[in-house]
Amino acid sequence: MAEVARRTATRRHYLMCRPTHFEVTYTINPWMDPRKPMDAGLALAQWERVRDLYLGFGHQVSFIDPVPGLPDMVFSANGATVVDGKVLIAKFRHQERAAEADAYRAWFEEHGHCGLRVPEYVNEGEGDFAPAGRRILAGAGFRSDPGAVAELRAFFGLPVTGLTLTDPRFYHLDTALFVLDDDLVAYYPAAFSEESQEELRRLYPDAVIATREDADAFGLNAVSDGLNVVVTETATHLIGELRERGFEVHGVDMSELLKAGGAVKCITQEIRRP
Ligand code: ARG
């Protein structure tokens, strides 16, 4: 029998936003239908479950106050990208979410950082940017501007690999790929252009490859600390693969946040200190 890799967790610091004002009132991605009923109490319970898992793993979790009238603010991954304590604030594609950027900027101004940049190009934070070890993967195609790649590289001083998303259902990089460890990712190939698929194969020959069903279940919108992976429980093929690779999988139900096109990763921004 093949030996199972030994995984180790590292302590993380996450930023989350309670879904107090969460609603589906507009449509800016193919998953959002304001006519569909959404259970706000259940959405809150699902969010709390993810928060409690992080606290149980020993991670630090900070909270930004939700702002009335910004129903998507619960998706804190989109607010900024933080690497080495440096903060690149988001600039949203859609007017409906534009004001979230100011709220995140104010939070980081109050909570300390090693440098903060208000961007020139549209970028939706960790929705499209995935720091992986000393590299940043940067998705574009639907939300973040391809021009953000050069801005990222210059601001963080790290190599950045641009990836092109081609399926509108997987409109943010974090709906199609997540980082398991510094040099390991999981992704759904068909969400990317041919060139980007080739680049991913070259960078991550051992990657975990997800199926269409896993991607539809938002299984790639997951969070890993190197050992524990929090993932939508319906991504059953992916969960099996992760267990085989030695990860401890924690399946969660995200039914209500999925109605806005988000799941585990979307509600989790990572604050990476130097
Ligand atoms: N309704 C939000 C939007 O379309 C969902 C954002 C999900 N966040 C994420 N990191 N993918 O912008």
Tell me which DSSP letter residue 243 carries: H
Q: Say how many Å lie between the CA of residue 32 and the centre of ligand 1.
A: 10
pLDDT in tens, 83-120: 999 999 999 999 999 999 999 999 999 998 899 999 99
CA–CA gap between residue 48 and residue 19 (Å, rounded): 9
Catalytic residues: 172, 266
CA 224-244-185 angle, to 5 degrees, is 40
pLDDT at residue 141 in the model: 96
Does the domain at residues 13-24+34-270 carry the CATH identifier 1.20.950.20?
A: no
In the predicted structure, residue 34 carries a pLDDT above the cut 80: yes
Nearest-atom number in ligand 1 for the CA of 265 is: 10
Q: Which residues contact 140 (CB under 8 A, 6 or more apart)?
A: 128, 146, 148, 149, 162, 163, 164, 165
User: What is the best residue among 28, 74, 78, 165 to mutate for testing ligand 1's pocket, by most ligand atoms within 8 Å of CB?
Assistant: 78
pLDDT at residue 147 in the model: 95
The reply to whether ligand 1 has any atom less than 6 angstroms from the CB of 174 is yes
Residue 24 near residue 32, CB atoms below 8 Å? yes
Q: Which two tokens stand for residue 227?
A: 């050992």
Handedness of CA 211, 52, 57, 179 (dihedral sign): positive
In the predicted structure, residue 5 carries a pLDDT above the cut 90: no
Residue found under tokens 């252009």: 193
Q: Say how many Å lie between the CA of residue 148 and the centre of ligand 1.
A: 18
Burial class (CB in 10 A: 0-12, 13-18, 19+), 37: exposed
CA–CA gap between residue 183 and residue 150 (Å, rounded): 22
CA–CA gap between residue 107 and residue 74 (Å, rounded): 14
The reply to whether ligand 1 has any atom less than 6 angstroms from the CB of 260 is yes
- List the domain boundaries for the chain: 13-24+34-270
pLDDT at residue 4 in the model: 78
> How large a percentage of the chain has pLDDT more than 70?
99
Return the closest-CA partner of residue 158 out of 270, 76, 81: 81
